[in-house]
Amino acid sequence: MSAYGFDTLAIHAGARPDPATGARQTPIYQTTAYVFRDADHAAALFNLQEVGFIYSRLTNPTVSVLQERIATLEGGVGAVCCSSGHAAQIMALFPLMRPGCNVVASTRLYGGTYTQLTHTIRRFGWEAKFVDLDDLAALEAAIDGNTRAVFCESIANPGGYVTDIPAVAEVTRRAGVPLIVDNTSATPWLCRPLEQGADLVVHSTTKYLTGNGTVTGGCIVDSGKFDWSASGKFPSLSEPEVAYHGLRFHETFGPMAFTFHGIAVGLRDLGMTMAPTTAFQTLLGIETLSLRMERHVQNAEKVAAWLEARPEVEFVTYAGLPSSPYHDRAKRLYSKGAGALFTFALRGGYEACVRFVDAVELFSHVANLGDARSLIIHSASTTHRQLTPEQQIASGAAPNVVRLSIGIENVDDLIADLEQALVKAVG
């Protein structure tokens, strides 16, 4: 299948006409359980000796098609879908971490991820250390004997920053820890982190992959290349699993170890399962991913250039603009553009930003991104509210900054809406 081009795979990967009915579109398998052929079949499934369907907390045929589709588009060997992007992050870390272990994460992250890593994971006895990934020496110094992963975003939310994944991957490879890249904002259409040296990719499928703001979902894709047995640091994958009669995932499943563990232990015990109707919606979305992303990027480039020339605007942080310090890096690593998520600073600070989000008419003021609709948010008063002002600035969500997620509408209409709102907000 993967000999086909990206646009073909976005429509066909993982799917085949339904064996029972010939249905051409992937059906929604709205069932909790699956009838075993006989007692031996049931035993083989429960022993992980045969791959099949037992119970929809673990596997479901509609969700399986989506898993194979995303794994193929990312160039991975397998994928596990789950209930949200945040669930995917926990599911990705879960097999790697133990109490006392840490993850080294980029300072430039989605606000919710920053909160999850700063506060919530501490309750599991895990810890996060944050470093500026432009400082590779600081990254290397932050990785210690208890580090089990490095985490970053490809195009970092709230936009304007692109991670040099090959350079970061070089450091993590030397240190013997896996690199996890959140590829939500770029999507595999713009960036395939596994080809650039990452070991695992996570997604909030809620965003561009679904593309219409209807369902929340997440996904973890494995490159299949990390050696989980080499260091003794990843016993969940390399050592006997008591709950499966002493089975060793890495020894038994090889490159599929992480994926099988994610389903057989992760979904089984954490239960962050994706619903089949959600998988169906996301499959429909991915069919048009290439067309949408092309328009998202075209529109974003035009809107960003227009904003940068306006007197009410102090600066625009979009790696697609020549003024961006990340312009060359984006050109090198993201050949089709720098995405459609960026921020700009308004003269008039916090107050002007609040007036601006109230004045837009076509843009929707929502805490979301990657919708066909254009979206706007003032991060400092919403998604990044829990952060200190210093953390807000470090993560690109300073009080005078507004974030745009540019949709696929007529770009002239978007610009007209921003123009009338600028006049109202700044005067």
Ligand X SMILES: *Cc1c(COP(=O)(O)O)cnc(C)c1O
When the beta carbons of 218 and 224 are compared against ligand X, the nearer one is 218
DSSP string, 315-327: EEE-TTSTTSTTH
- What's the closest the beta carbon of residue 113 comes to ligand X, in angstroms? 5
Please report, as residue ranges, which positions from 191 to 210 form the binding site for ligand X (by CB under 6 A).
Answer: 204, 206-207
365 contacts 309 by C-beta, under 8 angstroms = no
CA gap 79, 190 in Å, rounded: 19
CA gap 178, 344 in Å, rounded: 33
When the beta carbons of 102 and 113 are compared against ligand X, the nearer one is 113
| Structure-block tokens of residue 300 | 């974003």
Reference 80, options 52, 106, 59, 50; nearest CA is: 59
When the beta carbons of 265 and 272 are compared against ligand X, the nearer one is 272
Radius of gyration of the chain (CA): 22
Q: Which residues make Cβ contacts (< 8 Å) with residue 129, sequence separation at least 6?
A: 102, 103, 104, 105, 142, 147
When the beta carbons of 113 and 196 are compared against ligand X, the nearer one is 113
Determine the residue with CB nearest ligand X: 85
Among 77, 81, 82, 369, binds ligand X (CB under 6 A): 369
Among 76, 85, 262, 339, binds ligand X (CB under 6 A): 85
When the beta carbons of 97 and 219 are compared against ligand X, the nearer one is 219
Q: Which residues of 178-212 are buried (b: 16+ CB within 10 A; e: fewer)?
A: bbbbbbbbbbbbbbbbbebbbbbbbbbbbbbbbbe
Among 216, 223, 343, 374, binds ligand X (CB under 6 A): 216
Site string for ligand X, 167-186 (x = CB under 6 A): ---------------x-xx-
CA gap 414, 404 in Å, rounded: 11
Alpha helices per DSSP H over 47-110: 61-74, 85-93
Binding status of residue 281 toward ligand X by CB under 6 A: no
Q: Which amino acid is at 413?
A: D
Please report, as residue ranges, which positions from 106 to 135 form the binding site for ligand X (by CB under 6 A).
Answer: 110, 112-113
Among 72, 84, 282, 395, binds ligand X (CB under 6 A): 84
When the beta carbons of 61 and 85 are compared against ligand X, the nearer one is 85
Binding status of residue 69 toward ligand X by CB under 6 A: no
- The neighbour count for residue 380, using CB atoms within 10 Å, is 25
When the beta carbons of 164 and 308 are compared against ligand X, the nearer one is 164
Among 76, 193, 218, 407, binds ligand X (CB under 6 A): 218
Binding status of residue 86 toward ligand X by CB under 6 A: yes
When the beta carbons of 185 and 236 are compared against ligand X, the nearer one is 185
- What's the closest the beta carbon of residue 85 comes to ligand X, in angstroms? 2
For residues 403, 405, 410, 416, the Cα torsion angle rounded to the nearest 10 degrees is: -10
The site for ligand X (CB under 6 A) is made up of 84-86, 110, 112-113, 153, 157, 182, 184-185, 204, 206-207, 216, 218, 369
